[in-house]
Amino acid sequence: MTKREIVSLETQITRVRKRLAGIGAMRPGSISKQYRDRKNRKGLYYQLSYTHQMKSRTEHVWPEHVKQLEKELAEYTSRLYIFGKYAPVRYMCLSRAVFFSDDHT
C-alpha cells in the first residue's frame, strides 16, 4: 500500500469515527399500528417488534412514546449504514497488515 492510500484510508476511518460518536440512543426493530377491532379500525395501539438473541419479541408501546422510539429506530438504521461503510475500509486495512493508531507520527 502506498503512503497516499494509507492516508486516504486513515482519513475515511477518522470521518466515520466522528459520525459514530454523534449517534444518540438507538434500538433495532420496527413499530406497527394494531387495532383491537380490525374490521372497524377501532382500539388503536402500537407494537415494537425486534429480534434479540435469535428470538422474536413484541412489546406494547404507549402512544406518547412512539415519536421517541421512531427516532431511536432511525438512529439504529443510521448506525448500520455507517458501519456498513466503515467495515470494508477497516477490513481492507487489516487484511493488508496495516494497523492504525490514533496518533499518526
What's the DSSP call for residue 16?
H
Residue 105 falls within a domain, yes or no?
no
Dump pLDDT digits (tens) for 21-41.
766 666 778 899 999 998 999
Per-residue cell: 61: 408501546
Residue 50 falls within a domain, yes or no?
yes
Domain residue limits at 18: 3-95
In the sheet where 55-61 sits, what is the strand order?
30-37, 42-52, 55-61
Residue 104 falls within a domain, yes or no?
no
Q: How many domains does the chain have?
A: 1
Mean pLDDT throughout 74-100?
A: 60
Question: Which of 42-51, 58-67, 73-82 shows the lowest mean pLDDT across its residues?
Answer: 73-82
